[in-house]
Chain A
Amino acid sequence: MIKILIVDDEKAICDLIDLNLTASGYHCQTVQNGLDAIDMIEKESFDLILLDIMLPGADGYDVMEYIRPLKIPVIFITAKHEVRDRVKGLKLGADDYLVKPFDVVELVARVEAVLRRYNKADRELTAGDVVVDVEARRVVKGGNPVVLTNKEFGLLVLFMQNKNVALFRETLYEKVWEDEYISDSRTLDLHVQRLRKKLGWEQSLVAVYKVGYRLEVPQ
């Protein structure tokens, strides 16, 4: 199981990230102080560290200096959005940069991306008898390959990354089509219906009233 350390001086933010990443199947630990974070990194090994910059004790840059030799991937999470702050973080060796306030879906996606880069994430996402190889863009259901279009594949990956999470139409459309969502567009619904049919997910991929869709998988 992938272990993630969350360092943020706000308990609320720590818990928020913790809840969401735990739901996505990661094992999370939280700490609210830079010095404690260093202690924990010393004691245990982590696969990824989410690091705030303004921390009591030792700030994020100090902690980063400490992490760098350990080659643990780091995502900075901070309210500082100025370019020079971002550049400083990235130059210090951070793998990605997330500016508050952030979207939970975006957080999960970035975590996955970084882990994939380090070959720590499973290349394969599984839900029931459906297995998706993200790198190879291959979908297998019960041993038989399924042919999906580009958009359908994008939707599938999003659903599988956010199991049991209601994904809003806007979010889905913006992530997959990379365009502004038009409220009465039926495009998305058509694609979801085709995806359901191809994977036999008439029961699992449920429509959430006035919201969007949710992939329900027994946990």
Chain B
Amino acid sequence: MKFSSKLLLCTMIVMAIALGLSGFYFVNSVFETSLEREAGQALDENSILCFAFETAALNVPAKYDVLQDSTVEQVASNLERSGQSTGRMIRLSDEEKQPLFASDGFETDDELLAQIDAVTRAYRTIYLNGHYYIQTGSTVNALDRVLYLETLRDVSVVFDERALGFRVYRQITLAMLVLGMAIMHLISFLLTRPIRLLTRATRQMAAGDYSSRARKVSNDELGQLTLDFNHMAGALEENINKLEDEIQAKEDFVGAFAHELKTPLTAIIGYADMLRSRKLDEEKSLLSANYIYTEGKRLEAMSIRLLEIMVTRHGQAHFQEVQAQALFQYVQDMFRTNESMRFTYSCERALVWAESNLIITVLINLLDNACKASEPGSVIEVSGQVCEEGYLFRVRDHGIGIPKEELEKITKAFYMVDKSRAREQSGAGLGLALCTEILNLHHSSLSIESAPGEGTCISFMLPGRDGAADEKNGSGLSAHREGSEEE
């Protein structure tokens, strides 16, 4: 059953009970008041009749100073006649409570009669032959006789009025219920609107539309629920998007990996097949062998890089305080043999919190990229400086640069801006991906500025140690090391 229907039904039941009870009590209290009034009038009438009877009895000439039964009957029939127009009926009984005179239709039992004595008047309401009557009874003292006078007063009208009252009230109640039902239907429809909106949003989300939201239409608890639901949906959507992005990234990686793997494999297999099945001249066999060698090297480089990424991703780095200048020294030594480029090194002394081998890998990769992007003989600047947030490493080249639209993609695995150029230098497109992984481990990231034709500047920040600043101040000045190169 729908919630709105339940609401409607409950309201209707409560309304029906309330209207019914109040109507019943109202009509009944009116009826009881009327009945009491009628009873009072009936008793008054009874008193008047007693008086009239006593007066009449006195006026009848009595033979033996005793009121005869026949006289009583005569007086009673006179009294009855006088009240016939009002439908009043009377009965007179003697001392033994045996009826002396009774109007036509006065056919009640003697229960009331039994209650009457000299000092008690009594009345009751009875139903007789399709009419309601108030029966009253009292004693009459006439001469020396004690008689009992009972009257019946027709009060059907009062009962009819009560029935009419009930009927009218029932109709009013029904009308009110119908009207109330219509109004309550509308109200419950409006009240449950937020629920319906929420339900719809939930269904849409279940069907996969994670961007659907419920509209807030009220400020009550349901409105709050809607807000909370939307909040939850937002969080969920974000998570799902993130997951989808991750899956997409993984798929891209696998696709790129397959491509990068298949291309050298195709070359190796193809040339090897040629070598084994054709009679090739010396030049062609040399070419084939060379291709097999270079493509094999490429596969090797790729597998080493991939392994490094895996290890970085899953391995535990051992962080320690490292002298920044020691890192630069290491890299400088490493590239000393590279005579085609001019390297300049400048670094401030400081301690950084890092895994030194990994950071050296990053620096080597960045320098390697810088060399590949630059023409022989151009300058590559490597610098390190202390900042407020930590220690900033920077590698700047004056090479070909990176187009703006490629900047976002270059840290993706297997991405190469200029493929043929990267191939010639046996790049696997994994260097920056590895750097990103390593820096993630250090809670840092690469920031890249570049302009095509002008060169690229790649920098990253490592958190310094508390002691780092002291160290620097203690040394008085930053040590500048100009690594100049033999040209």
Q: What residues of chain A have their CB less than 8 Å away from a CB belonging to chain B?
A: 9-13, 15-17, 19-20, 23, 32-33, 54, 56, 79-81, 100-104, 164-168, 211, 214
Contact = CB atoms under 8 A, between A and B. Distances in A.
B277 A10 contact: no
Given A32-B420, A79-B262, A12 B273 contact: no
A33 B421 CA distance: 12
A9 B420 contact: yes
B259 A80 contact: yes
Contact of B277 (A16, A17, A211): A211
Nearest to A168: B277
Contacts of A166: 276-278
B100 interface: no
Interface string B256-286: 0011001111110111011011110000100
A104 B273 contact: yes
7 contacts: A11-B420, A13-B270, A16-B267, A20-B274, A56-B418, A56-B419, A100-B262
B295 interface: yes
Interface string B333-368: 000000000000000000000000000000000000
What is the interface residue range for chain B against chain A? 20 to 34
Interface of B: 255, 258-259, 262-267, 269-271, 273-274, 276-279, 284, 287-288, 291, 294-295, 418-420, 423
B266 A100 contact: yes
B274 A19 contact: yes
A10 B416 CA distance: 13
Contacts of B294: 12
Contacts of B295: 12
Given A10-B423, A13-B266, 20 more contacts: A9-B420, A10-B267, A11-B420, A12-B267, A12-B291, A13-B270, A16-B271, A19-B288, A20-B274, A32-B420, A79-B258, A79-B262, A100-B262, A101-B270, A102-B270, A104-B274, A165-B278, A166-B276, A166-B278, A211-B277
A211 B266 contact: no
A15 B273 contact: no
In this complex, the member of A13, A80, A164 whose beta carbon has the largest number of chain B beta carbons within 10 angstroms is A13
Contact of B291 (A15, A103, A164, A168): A15
A168 B269 CA distance: 14
A164 B262 CA distance: 28
Nearest to B421: A56
A11 B422 CA distance: 12
Contacts of A101: 262, 265-266, 269-270
A167 B277 contact: yes
Nearest to B277: A166
Contacts of B264: 12
A100 B263 contact: yes
